[in-house]
Structure 1
Amino acid sequence: MLTSAIAFVSQGFWMLMLFDCIRNEPKGSNWMWLLIMLNFPGAVIYFVARKLPYLNLPVPSFFKRWTMKDALWNAEAGVVNIGKSHQYVTLGNVLMEMDNVDRALEAYRSAIEKEPGNTHALWGCATIEMQRQNFAAARTSLEDLLDRDSEYKRGEASLLYGKCLYELQQWSVAKEHLDFDVKRWSHSESFLLLAKIALDRDGDKVAAKSYLTTMLARLKASPRYNYRKNRDLIRSAENLLKTLN
């Protein structure tokens, strides 16, 4: 009975990976031959190499606390022994990794008190406030950050600022910034937000469709790993396009 159940599950897993390979891998890919020749072991290899990196599976908090206890110990020691803005940012980063956002926010704010222009601390505060949907506070931190470093994290701060303006329904300012963002950084999510603004503010289906088709065309022309990484975003754009056609 147990043997039959294991065989059924392993065969189902193999078929699932085979279907994923047919749908997502380019023609002529060696992955298909690997799956056919090795069956279940090939499916495991395919899952680890091709699926797992894009799943972003959540790590349990207790596991993070256990694996990062030494990092937390060192970060807390740095705050006590040195206590400069850098040490508080390091502590905040460790606490963020451990999902302790309340203490992380305190650490980032302490870093800003020590050094008001600390871009890493401003970024930490902004990301936490965005998670909490405290968009006004996030906007303040992001504007200060971008005034000091407009290219922070290779444009990630620019994208987050556009998302913040969108959530605040500051349509004109958001559109102006997102237009700049797509020209400077070509963020796919900025195209999607511009399409939504065109619909929500102006009811302009033609402009919305143009943003979406441009976004999808650029993603399809990008490296395969980037296309797979943005699959959820692609699905959202395709669903929105269906409502416009």
Structure 2
Amino acid sequence: MSFVFLLSLALQIACAVHVIRSGRPLYWLFLILIGSYLAVLVYVLVAVIPDLQHDPHGRRAARTAMKAIDPQRRRRELQKQLELSNTIDNRRRLAEECLQQGDYANAQELYRSLLTGMYATDPHFMEGLAHAQAGSEHFAETRQTLDALAQANPNYKSSEVQLLYARCLEELGDTEAALNEYRVLADSYPGEEGRFRYGRLLAQSQRHAEARNVLQGQLRRAEMMPRYYRRKEQTWLKAAKLELSRLGES
């Protein structure tokens, strides 16, 4: 059987399943089965797309697909909004999008433009600037920003800020201070990155037995967590397994 036929059949089956699950009139089944690609196209336009627009899960799936097809689309939209109205909120959203896309230079510029006037010490903007600086591997500047954040906002608590500060200490060679920060994060950070970074730095400091204990404990703990959690944290769990294999048996 040709690929064209198989693709047509797969699309027809998918649309037929949608007809039944959505409770639409059964005459759609007949039209889809005899109409091949044309009927599938009509059904998608008439039924599937409107359903996606009204379904939260469908909207999320559509946004994900669109982001994969055109990753710059949202950024262009935010840039146009900023050009039309140069507001704090529009600049913030564009800064966050640049940061997410890894455009750290523009993210830094935007966050600095936000840190003026009544927002000069806004903790969220300072945190965004620190992440952009770290993304550019400017860790000395990142530490300065985080120190200024802590001084201006002593009650501001963020696990991401704590982790970023520990990373700065590690990158700047202050290993003992970094280990102290990671030790706290190993118990408090809502994810596996803090535990992994603690174990890895212990290993790099030739404290192999402690590193094994941390990494083995991390993996045992993860086994008791729900599957969705392990799937979400799989990057750090795989990294922990790899680090343990490098350390070898105790």
TM over 0.5: yes
- The match for 1:204 among 195, 202, 207 is 207
Larger radius of gyration: 2
Instruction: Report the RMSD for the aligned CA atoms in angstroms.
Output: 3.2
Q: Which amino acid aligns with 1:230?
A: E
| Equivalent residues in 2 for 1:16-95, closer than 5 Å | 59=67, 63-79=70-86, 82=87, 86=89, 88-95=91-98
Structure 1 residue runs without a partner (length 5+): 11-48
Quote the sequence identity (%): 20
1:28-82 residue CA offsets vs partner (Å, 9 max, x unmatched): xxxxxxxxxxxxxxxxxxxxx9xxx9xx99956x924334433322234432xx5
* Residues matched between the structures, number: 192
Take 1:99 and 1:195, find their aligned partners in 2: how far apart are those partners? 27
Take 2:112 and 2:120, find their aligned partners in 1: how far apart are those partners? 9
1:64-112 residue CA offsets vs partner (Å, 9 max, x unmatched): 4334433322234432xx5xx5554334224445654333211101111
The normalised TM-score by structure 2 is 0.64
Q: Give the ranges of 4+ consecutive aligned residues of structure 1 lying more than 4 Å apart after TM superposition.
A: 4-7, 56-60, 97-100
- In the other structure, the counterpart of 2:226 is 223
- In the other structure, the counterpart of 2:181 is 177
Q: Is the 8 A contact 2:186 2:195 kept in 1?
A: yes
Q: Which amino acid aligns with 1:243?
A: R
Q: Is the 8 A contact 1:68 1:98 kept in 2?
A: no
Take 1:166 and 1:92, find their aligned partners in 2: how far apart are those partners? 26
The normalised TM-score by structure 1 is 0.65
Structure 2 residue runs without a partner (length 5+): 11-56
Check if 1:3 corresponds to 2:3. yes
Check if 1:123 corresponds to 2:130. no
Q: Is the 8 A contact 2:91 2:114 kept in 1?
A: yes
Quickly say closer, same or farther: Cα 1:57–1:188, change in 2 above 3 A. farther
Take 2:92 and 2:134, find their aligned partners in 1: how far apart are those partners? 18
Secondary structure of the 1:169 match is coil
Check if 1:213 corresponds to 2:216. yes
